[in-house]
Chain A
């Protein structure tokens, strides 16, 4: 098992552009989570999937954010019309039958 992977690791974009991030969870894990982490802070929950169903979304997830998990495997997080305030590390995590979540390396987004 290679753990949770995320792609890309870094993304620099101009304000107003759309970006999409991908997360591949640990293969047998049915739960997948997205978090946002700003410098010097702990991760903040954005959304989570159980299999392909998106079961909860944070108020942080504005209309410009959308997440999918087709077929209950990998997931994508898209941010439309990016703003400078979207600059952050976007973390993906997955969990299986137990409650601990395993994190990927994150995608660092910089909006210029």
Chain B
């Protein structure tokens, strides 16, 4: 099942700089996209979401961009902080499928002090 793909297994950035995490999808029926953050031995924590009717959503240091024509979304974290170090998952759902989430593989973000 490759409907949601995160091609970078890891990303390392310096504290204070921008982190950009990318996600691609193939299912054109997806209409709601989410980013989750996960620490070891914990469940995914919701960060931010975007509906397919928008191309940008912002919440504090987190901004999600959606490019529907490219079937691509990205999460920008500015400025990055060491506490942001975690695995980040993108997920998608179809409105008709009762909110079932399809997850990407995850990207391990490391923010170095």
Partners in one complex: no
Residues of B within 8 A of A (CB): none
Residues of A within 8 A of B (CB): none
